[in-house]
Amino acid sequence: MTVGVVVDMMLGLALVALSLRVVTGGSLFRDIVLFILFGLLVALSWARLGAPDLALAEAAIGAGLTGALMLMAYRSIGADTEERPVRRRPGVALVVAVLTGSLVAVIGLAALGIERVPDAAGDAVLEALPGTGLGNAVTGVLLVFRGLDTMLEMAVLLVALLGAWTVLGDARPGRVHRVDRRTPLVGSLLTVVAPITLLVAVHLLLAGTDAPGGAFQAGAVLTGCGVLMVLTGTLRPTAVAGFATRLLVVAGLAAFVLVGAGAGFVGHAPMTLTGTWAVYLIETAMMLSIALTMTLLFARARGLRGEGS
Amino acid sequence: MNGAMETVGLVLVIAGCVFYAAGTIGLLRFPDVYSRLHALTKADNQGLLLVCLGLAVLAGSVQVAFLLIVVWSVGLVAAAVSAHLIARHARHAGEPHASRETER
Amino acid sequence: MSTEVVYVLAASAVFGAGVYGLIVANHLMRKLLALNVMSSAVFVTMLTVAGTTPEGPDPVAQALVLTGIVIAVAATAFALALLVRLVQETGLVSLRAKDDDGA
């Protein structure tokens, strides 16, 4: 047994212990924080499994963004709403949980035992990748080989935002519990962190074609900046979506459709994206859409405006 | 990579882990919010610095070293501001101060 | 025991924990936490069993999981919006009526 496997075992045990705590614990606030920790450990697991793209995405989206959304909702619905955390007779649930867990284990272990077919989809991707001009196989799959999936994913994000807007009804934009600004540190935090986040987001976007990174990770990092600006009151939620907001939230989907349809006009089959310029164009639009959509979902608002305006 | 550099790097990383362990023990054992924050921010920032230095030595590349400096500075800013906000909130909420109780 | 086996076993246990939480939790936000825990377990299992290429885990599986992570956060955000509205309208954080207590 190597040192690596021992690390894996410790990580695995920590994941199991944390997940048990998250689903059964008595304090919702603490369990949300533990869930964020769980997400960060999952990110470490991705790194251990050799998937740095997923590690970045999990840390930024799975842990950071989901955690921020949860904590925001927790504040909105009131801190003391949880009376009884669990039902009184969890016996049946326990049996079901053990059975489904075992089922996953059996399926997983059986699948591990199957020998990999020589020309699986992943190998085909690696073979065809040099022709796309991209160096990162995951970006290749997302933007070129399975671009349609990613386009529909942007549609799902848009639908989630539209759904949230519908549910919001005619309610006033969510009261944002802002950070106390009477301390100078918060202002300096924004001054220091906002440019760094921008830089990191653009770097992730550009690096994503050849190295770990891409539109999703960049968008999530940018969302972090948006969340910070909402929390410090630099961006205020509004009840109306302006034209620029509407344009930006559909930009990712629109870029896909336009580039996809445009391919038809220049003699390619529709939806066959070609060239790194298309990838950069779509990824930039995706990043902006993701960042704005997620920030709006966080603030439960239809639009955002600057502090002074 | 020569052996001496590797040893220096590993010693730095392990020293950083010791600081992290000390900070975590402080977080678990200290009696009130303020001293816990003190343990966390002081020990963990030092631990992060040592781990980053060790990794930079192990990587042996200027570019990686520069990135690690950025990582450390951002961690420092985040830790300073969050600790400040937590302490401020705790004081405004009237969180008790353990030392005053033990002075009785 | 290999790395893959460790993660499949851990993910199975995490999935079981998620199922348990989904069934027994009263608070809807805790049910959401449980669902998110379950989806993480599914993602880890998916990537692990997909096998590896010479350049790391199967890129198609990685892209699928990346898509899944983003869809999961979108669904969570929508569910939280529903939950906040539910609390605003009814004051309840669970789907069971208040007089349905001990049952």
Domain segments of chain B as ranges: 3-96
Note the pLDDT tens digit of each residue in A188-221: 788 888 888 898 899 999 888 888 888 999 999 9
Residues of B in contact with A196 (CB under 8 A): 70, 74
- Do chains A and B meet with 3 or more Cβ pairs nearer than 8 Å? yes
One domain for residues A69 and A139:
no
* Cβ pair C3:A8 closer than 8 A: yes
Which comes out higher in pLDDT, residue A307 or C29? C29
Strands (E), C1-103: 52-53, 56-57
Flag whether pLDDT at A98 surpasses 70: yes
Of A54, A67, A41, A38, which is closest to residue A216 (Cα–Cα)? Answer: A54
**Structure-block tokens of residue B13:** 């990383």
pLDDT value for A180: 64
Computed over every residue of chain A, the mean pLDDT equals: 85
Flag whether pLDDT at A13 surpasses 50: yes
Flag whether pLDDT at A178 surpasses 70: no
- Do chains B and C meet with 3 or more Cβ pairs nearer than 8 Å? no
**Of C21, C48, C78, which has the smallest distance from its Cβ to A24's Cβ?**
C21
Number of Cβ within 10 Å of residue B66's Cβ equals 11
pLDDT value for C101: 46
Residues of A in contact with B74 (CB under 8 A): 193, 196
| Percent of all residues in chain A with a pLDDT value above 90, rounded to a whole number | 40
**Of A73, A100, A108, which has the smallest distance from its Cβ to C11's Cβ?**
A108
**Of A180, A183, A189, which has the smallest distance from its Cβ to B77's Cβ?**
A189
Note the pLDDT tens digit of each residue in A245-268: 999 999 999 998 888 887 777 766
Residue A120 lies in a domain: no
Residues of B in contact with A189 (CB under 8 A): 77, 81
pLDDT value for A191: 83
d(C-alpha C2, C-alpha A82), whole Å: 41
- Do chains A and C meet with 3 or more Cβ pairs nearer than 8 Å? yes
Closest approach of A183 to chain C, Cα-based (Å): 30
Q: How confident is the model over C94-103, as a mean pLDDT?
A: 55
pLDDT value for A85: 53
Note the pLDDT tens digit of each residue in A112-143: 888 777 777 888 888 888 877 788 888 888 88
* Residue carrying structure tokens 């653009």: A202
pLDDT value for A219: 93
One domain for residues A154 and A92:
no
Residues B57, B5 contacting (CB under 8 angstroms): yes
Closest approach of A116 to chain C, Cα-based (Å): 7
CATH code (residue C77): 1.10.287.3510
pLDDT confidence tier of residue A78, bands split at 50, 70 and 90: confident
**Of B70, B74, B84, which has the smallest distance from its Cβ to A185's Cβ?**
B84
One domain for residues A89 and A211:
no
Flag whether pLDDT at C78 surpasses 90: yes
d(C-alpha A161, C-alpha A246), whole Å: 11
Residue A126 lies in a domain: no
Please name the residue of chain A whose CA is at the shortest distance from the CA of residue B83.
A185
pLDDT value for A249: 93
Closest approach of B103 to chain A, Cα-based (Å): 31
pLDDT value for C13: 96
Q: How confident is the model over C31-41, as a mean pLDDT?
A: 95
* Cβ pair A138:C63 closer than 8 A: yes
pLDDT confidence tier of residue A24, bands split at 50, 70 and 90: confident
pLDDT value for A278: 81
* Cβ pair B85:A183 closer than 8 A: yes
In this structure, chain B runs to a length of 104
pLDDT value for A61: 92
- Subunits with 3+ Cβ pairs within 8 Å of B are A
pLDDT confidence tier of residue C91, bands split at 50, 70 and 90: confident
pLDDT value for B103: 45
* Cβ pair B85:A179 closer than 8 A: yes
One domain for residues A101 and A181:
no
Total domains, chain A: 2
* Cβ pair C76:A66 closer than 8 A: yes
Flag whether pLDDT at C97 surpasses 80: no
Q: Which of B73, B77, B81, B92 should one mutate to test binding to chain A, selecting the residue with the greatest count of A CBs within 10 A?
A: B81
Which comes out higher in pLDDT, residue B44 or A80? B44
d(C-alpha B57, C-alpha C76), whole Å: 42
Of A161, B60, A8, which is closest to residue C73 (Cα–Cα)? Answer: A161
Which domain range does residue C80 map to?
3-90
One domain for residues A178 and A295:
yes
pLDDT value for A270: 63
Which domain range does residue A278 map to?
135-309
In this structure, chain C runs to a length of 103
Closest approach of A308 to chain C, Cα-based (Å): 28
* Cβ pair A300:C81 closer than 8 A: yes
Residues of B in contact with A79 (CB under 8 A): none
Of C44, B29, C13, C48, which is closest to residue A17 (Cα–Cα)? Answer: C13
**A-C contacts (CB, under 8 Å):** 292
Residue A111 lies in a domain: yes
Which comes out higher in pLDDT, residue B83 or A309? B83
Q: How confident is the model over A299-306, as a mean pLDDT?
A: 86
Flag whether pLDDT at A237 surpasses 60: yes
d(C-alpha A225, C-alpha A247), whole Å: 20
One domain for residues A78 and A210:
no
Please name the residue of chain A whose CA is at the shortest distance from the CA of residue C7.
A12
Which comes out higher in pLDDT, residue A156 or A305? A156
Residues A37, A31 contacting (CB under 8 angstroms): no
One domain for residues A206 and A89:
no
Total domains, chain C: 1
Q: Which of A185, A203, A232 should one mutate to test binding to chain B, selecting the residue with the greatest count of B CBs within 10 A?
A: A185
Flag whether pLDDT at A170 surpasses 80: no
The amino acid present at A166, given as its one-letter code, is T
- Subunits with 3+ Cβ pairs within 8 Å of C are A
The distance between the two most distant Cα atoms of chain C, rounded to a whole number of Å, is: 60
pLDDT confidence tier of residue C67, bands split at 50, 70 and 90: very high
Q: Which of A189, A200, A228 should one mutate to test binding to chain B, selecting the residue with the greatest count of B CBs within 10 A?
A: A189
The amino acid present at A259, given as its one-letter code, is V
One domain for residues A90 and A24:
yes
DSSP label of B48: H
